[in-house]
Amino acid sequence: DQQVKQNSPSLSVQEGRISILNCDYTNSMFDYFLWYKKYPAEGPTFLISISSIKDKNEDGRFTVFLNKSAKHLSLHIVPSQPGDSAVYFCAASEGGSYIPTFGRGTSLIVHP
Partner 1 sequence: SQTIHQWPATLVQPVGSPLSLECTVEGTSNPNLYWYRQAAGRGLQLLFYSVGIGQISSEVPQNLSASRPQDRQFILSSKKLLLSDSGFYLCAWNLDRADTQYFGPGTRLTVL
Work out which of 42, 69, 70, 112 binds partner 1, going by CB under 8 A. Answer: 42
Is 102 a binding residue for partner 1 by CB under 8 A? The answer is yes
Gyration radius (Cα) of the chain, Å: 13
**Smallest separation (angstroms) from partner 1 to the CB of 17:** 26
Nearer to partner 1, 74 or 79 (CB): 74
Work out which of 41, 60, 69, 83 binds partner 1, going by CB under 8 A. Answer: 41
Work out which of 66, 93, 108, 110 binds partner 1, going by CB under 8 A. Answer: 93
